[in-house]
Amino acid sequence: MSLLTKSRHLRKLFDEPVIDENPVVFTTRLRIARNLENYVFPHHLSEKDAEYLVNEVIDAIKDFHRTPFVIPMSETDALIREFFVERHIISPEFAESGFGKVLILFPETGLRILVNEEDHLRICICDKNEDLEKMWNTLDRFDDILSEKLHYAFDSEFGYLTSCPTNVGPALRASALLFIPALKTTKKIKEIFDMILKRGCVIRGFYGEGSASMGNLYQIATGPALGEKELDICRSMSSIIGAVKQQEFLAMRKVSVRRVMDRIRMFFDWIYDSTTSGIDSRQAIKGISLLLFGKNLGIIQREGKLLKRLIYRVLPASIQIEAGGALRPEERDAFRLQLLREKLRSIYV
């Protein structure tokens, strides 16, 4: 766990997830896939070639003006890997054991590289705002610098070559993690999902592909983009985010504020009941998302940022890091309850 104490920038990953007061948008992300032309795809790489590739990438970034953190997954304990998944820094698959997997972080810029994931390089930028074009400009400049030192696998007809055929072309995916409880409460969410799917996007859970939604949080991501321009992909995602936000705000007008208030009171009664000894992460996130919904409806006068941050802090790996070490499930639940009681004490309904 000493990894998070090596630098104030790494510690900030724990203390300050990339969030702000936006009532709907938690995070936005752009991710490009790149492969090097002299190597087979990662799932066919030998351990020796994977090591060569990692060294080539590290050599390519050594002169960058901002020194990155290079974190081999094989040298990172399971708790920290799980924490990186919880903060959407790496994918669940990247956290699994295997050779040649290296995370390269540029904490000051929000940029990171996952080496030897599904592709040789998954280069990402994550932010808390909706200016995807600005994010793309930052990512594009970074990619241009890398491409001067690394030889990408590129076809003049198809574009960037990728391990999965659906990523061929610009190899860019844009995504956003959205909080849409009003649409769920008013049963309008299926209409919105249908609209999103018709526009060629996919809907995923909290941890991305193959995961379930938690606390009314859904990840919306662009689909295959062969033949599309990168800026058009960014603008399309921005348009979808705007449409979903508008529908969430309209749905909020139809929500019974009294019912939400009653549910919030029930949650408070439960967590402050002397017989309650613990709370698991899903129960905690359900309750915190209810409070965040109350904040959006004007029931609760509290920083949305505090509540958003709590959603991350109560997750299994994060709660153990906050406690200072590995805990048994029942110990996690007890510590999580203690944290909620402390942080939510000043909230009144």
Q: Identify whether the C-beta of residue 185 lies closer than 8 Å to the C-beta of residue 255.
A: yes
Task: Specify the pLDDT at position 14.
Answer: 58
Q: Model confidence over 108-149: pLDDT tens digits? A: 888 999 999 999 999 999 988 788 999 999 999 999 999 999
Distances (CA, A) of 120 to 25, 71, 174: 30, 16, 19
Question: Domains along the chain?
Answer: 2-252 (3.30.590.10), 257-343 (no CATH)
Q: How far, in Å, CA of 335 to CA of 341, rounded?
A: 10
Q: How far, in Å, CA of 175 to CA of 339, rounded?
A: 31
Task: Specify the pLDDT at position 272.
Answer: 95
Task: Specify the pLDDT at position 33.
Answer: 97
- pLDDT at residue 208 is higher than 90: no
pTM, two decimal places? 0.92
Q: Model confidence over 9-35: pLDDT tens digits? A: 556 665 556 677 899 999 999 999 999
Q: Model confidence over 61-88: pLDDT tens digits? A: 987 767 789 999 999 999 999 999 999 9
Handedness of CA 164, 167, 170, 173 (dihedral sign): negative
pLDDT interval class at 255 (50, 70, 90): very high
Q: How far, in Å, CA of 192 to CA of 246, rounded?
A: 11
Q: Model confidence over 149-176: pLDDT tens digits? A: 999 999 999 999 999 998 999 999 999 9
Residues 6+ apart with CB under 8 A from 167: 33, 119, 160, 173, 224
